[in-house]
Amino acid sequence: MKPFEIADGVYSVGVTDWNIRDFHGYSTPSGTSYNAFLIIDDKIALIDTVKHQFANQFLDNISKIIDPGKIDYIISNHTEMDHSGSLPEVMHRVGSNTPLYCSKMGHKNLPLHFRQNWNYHPVKTGEELSLGKKNLVFLETKMIHWPDSMFSYLKEDGILFSSDGFGQHYAGPETFTDETSEDIFAHAKKYFANILLLFAPRIKKLISQVGDLGLTINTICPDHGLFWRKNPEKIIEAYLKWCDQVPEKKAVIVYDTMWKSTEAMAEKIAEGIADEGIYAKPMHLRNCHRSDIITEIMDAKAIVVGSPTMNNNLFPTVSDFLTYMKGLKPQDKIGAAFGSYGWSGEAVKQINNELTAMNIEPVDPGLRIQYVPEQNGLDTCHAYGKKIGQMINDSTGC
């Protein structure tokens, strides 16, 4: 990524990671970017850095605009290593006594990351930093998605530097979201579902607080992906919708299979659900990445989980997925369990236990079929799907 000017004296100096395909368990088939920003005024400020392995490219980008040694202030919106990893190299170039602005929790976290006694300046919501003609306002955004997270707002240009808020794991030739298709919202939705869903109530409250401050937002610049320049309110509205987690008439059937028996059950259950007028999507755990499944689940009313029993336990991919989903705490769902088994059949009960631990109430004890389902068994699966579909209709008022 070459540096470019976003607004008068405001530059994007981040880097593109074209080749990353897994971001701590989240699939990134389109890569990602680590965005950072340089503001040139009477004083010069750098907002965020990039992943450690891109430090040289990052400093080269800055050098194309100014000598890094002329930077007066560094702002760390978030201490996670994809945004702070290059701080040691940056501090070495600009001077270790350069003021480093961060949230109060950032002040706690940064020394634990880097073991450096830099010139920290912890700030709280509403504090300002004058750069001359331009002024930065800091907004604490705790748990969106780390305790140290904060936004920085450039008043005169109406630019919100939103850290991990409103981002997408996307790398492409475009700079702004209006330069690409509406598919960018799919990337933003996946990001929300897998990174921020757990914090949905906090995000909704934060958006309300930002609204109360009366900030004029012309551009939103997240630390990943493209920038929201035209109609930035569209992504804010999308976040409010995703925060509410209002379910649609939709069921996601998540499963794995050993000898196709659980798969045959999944397809018949999906067929039964669909016969009740519900969108039903079977997703095989070794063909669909768990982060894509979570994205589908975010606006689904029903989560139907199937597993064969293996060594008296869940199939490993199913266990992995349930652990992943538990951490994200999806709300307002109904659950169901099914599976084929040989001689014991504990998996269905274990699925129900996991769903219950997530406050997802199973519709019943679940459906088990021993070995290969015959026609009667497949008919039972179809009926089970119809039952789930009827419950979805009843619960969504349709």
CATH number at residue 385: 3.40.50.360
Q: Is residue 235 domain-shared with residue 307, that is, in the same domain?
A: no
Residue 330: which of 347, 365, 364, 305 has the closest Cα?
305
Residue pLDDT, tens place only, 38-95: 999 999 999 999 999 999 999 999 999 999 999 999 999 999 999 999 999 999 999 9
User: Domain of 177?
Assistant: 4-244
Q: For the stretch 264-296, what's the b/e string if a residue is b when 16 or more beta carbons lie within 10 angstroms of its beta carbon? A: bbbbbbbbbbbebebbbbbbbbeebbbbbbbbb
174 and 30, same structural domain? yes
Mean pLDDT, rounded, for 181-191: 93
Count CB neighbours of 304 within 10 A. Answer: 29
Catalytic, 354? Answer no
- Is the CB of residue 379 less than 8 Å from the CB of residue 264? no
- 115 & 58 share domain: yes
Q: Which of 41, 148, 164, 223 is catalytic?
A: 164
Tell me, yes or no, whether 42 and 168 share the same domain: yes
pLDDT of residue 303: 98
* Same domain, residue pair 213 and 263: no
Decide if 145 is catalytic: yes
Q: Dihedral, CA atoms, 226, 231, 233, 237, nearest 10 degrees?
A: -80
* One domain for residues 238 and 269: no
Respond yes or no: is residue 224 known to be catalytic: yes
- Do residues 252 and 385 both lie within one domain? yes
Q: Which residues touch 380 (CB under 8 Å, ≥6 apart)?
A: 367, 369
Report yes or no on 281 lying in a domain. yes
> Mean per-residue pLDDT for 375-388?
98
- Could you say which of 17, 41, 48, 80 is catalytic? 80
With cut-offs at 50, 70 and 90, classify the pLDDT of residue 212. confident
pTM above 0.85, yes or no: yes
Q: From the candidates 191, 239, 341, 384, give the one annotated as an active-site residue.
A: 191
Please identify which of the residues 78, 107, 289, 382 carries the catalytic annotation. Answer: 78
The domain boundary, picked from 214, 244, 274, lies at 244
Among 211, 244, 277, give the residue marking a domain's end: 244
Task: Choose the final residue of a domain: 244, 265, 298.
Answer: 244
At residue 397 the predicted structure's pLDDT band, cuts being 50, 70 and 90, is low
Check which CATH number belongs to the domain holding 195 and give it: 3.60.15.10
Does the pLDDT of residue 398 top 70, yes or no? no
Residue 308 banded pLDDT, cuts 50, 70, 90: very high
Would you say residue 397 lies in a domain? Answer: no
pLDDT the model gives residue 144: 86
The tokens describing 247, both together, are: 């379910």
Q: Do 35 and 58 fall within a single domain?
A: yes
Q: Does residue 83 carry a catalytic annotation?
A: no
Q: Has residue 398 been placed in a domain?
A: no
82 counts as catalytic: yes
Q: Are 204 and 243 in contact, with CB atoms under 8 Å apart? A: yes
User: How far is it, in rounded angstroms, from Cα 343 to Cα 145?
Assistant: 44
Amino acid at 36: A
Helix (H, G, I), strand (E, B) or coil at 207: helix
Q: What are phi and psi of 348, to 5 degrees?
A: -60, -45
Q: What is the pLDDT of residues 8-25, one digit of tens each?
A: 999 999 999 999 999 988
Q: Exactly one of 107, 145, 187, 382 is catalytic; which is it?
A: 145
| Domain count across the chain | 2
Residue 220 placed within a domain: yes
Residue 174 token pair: 């475009």
**Residue with the two structure tokens 């699925």:** 351
Reduced to 3 states, what is the DSSP secondary structure of residue 393? helix
Percent of the chain with pLDDT over 70: 99
Active-site residue flag, 78 = yes
Catalytic one of 83, 169, 187, 224 = 224
Q: Which residue has the tokens 């925060």?
A: 243
- 57 and 163 in a single domain? The answer is yes
